[in-house]
Amino acid sequence: MDYKDYIHSDSRIMLGKPVIKGTRITVEHILSELTAGMEISEIVEAHPSLDKEKVRAAIAYALDVLRNEDVYSLAEKK
């Protein structure tokens, strides 16, 4: 699956946050619902414009962002 088929970012929509194409549902919102304990099926039920593939695309997008992120170690204060 190529998440780019489902995820879009446009500065005129939701301040440029990545959204599911054709919606105003952000990747951030989907991840927030997953973190809150919602199942993919519950998210799809709550948002009729979504399907399981689109929710998985949001997860894949987040994974790709993290994989390509520069990580800097922060010194622990004692």
pTM listed for this prediction: 0.86
Q: Which residues of 47-70 are buried (b: 16+ CB within 10 A; e: fewer)?
A: beebeeebbebbebbbeeeeeeee
Average pLDDT over residues 52-76: 91
Dist. CA 67–CA 76, nearest whole Å = 24
If one counts every other C-beta atom within 10 angstroms of the C-beta of residue 78, the result is 3
pLDDT in tens, 2-17: 999 999 999 999 999 9
pLDDT band at 71 (very low <50, low <70, confident <90, very high): confident
